[in-house]
Each structure stands twice: as structure tokens, then as C-alpha cells.
Amino acid sequence: MSMKKATPVEIMDGKSFRLRTDAIIILDGVEAPDKSTPAGQKARNKLAELVLNKKVEYETTQWTSMGQTKAVVTLEGVNINEKMNEFLASL
């Protein structure tokens, strides 16, 4: 797979976001708390802080049955999947 560039325009929860193209990207290997919980809101806010409206690169690892893209996401060389897992471990 090759790296693609895109801009997240909406954060869905602590592990997924919508691109300007309407595609949904799910951070592969990240398990965030339910977005209705306080921890889930913190995770969602952290992901927004990291990627919202910024040009990210992503490499697809697989597709879900709903057509969403599981991917490894980077921003300026920083692995966002790892950053989120570190953050979630601190909750």
C-alpha cells in the first residue's frame, strides 16, 4: 500500500475521523473508550488536537465490512496511532 495525504475534518471518536472526501479512517490498533464516557471524550479531544484540519498521511492496513479504512496515520513523521495509544494508556 502507498501513503495517501488527506485532511481530517471531523473527529468521530478517540480512534476515528472523517476526511474531507467523506471517507472514515480508523486508527489501526487503537482501542478508545466509548465516546459517551468522560475518558472517551478526552480521547476524542486528544485526537482532534493531534489531527483535526491538518494534512496527515495514512497507509491503509485493511478495510472494514462497512467500507471504512483502517490505517496507520502519521503527521510530520509522528505516528498518530502510537501517540493515541500512549495517551489512552495514561487515562
Sign of CA pseudo-dihedral 77, 5, 34, 40 = positive
Locate the domains of the chain by residue range.
4-90
- pLDDT of 1 strictly over 70: no
3 state SS of 64: coil
Do the Cβ atoms of 20 and 37 come closer than 8 Å?
Answer: no
pLDDT of residue 2: 82
CATH no. for 4-90: 2.40.50.90
Mean pLDDT throughout 64-91? Answer: 97
Mean pLDDT throughout 58-73? Answer: 96
- pLDDT of 45 strictly over 70: yes
- pLDDT of 22 strictly over 80: yes
Mean pLDDT throughout 61-77? Answer: 96
Q: Cα angle at 74 between 69 and 80, to 5 degrees? A: 85
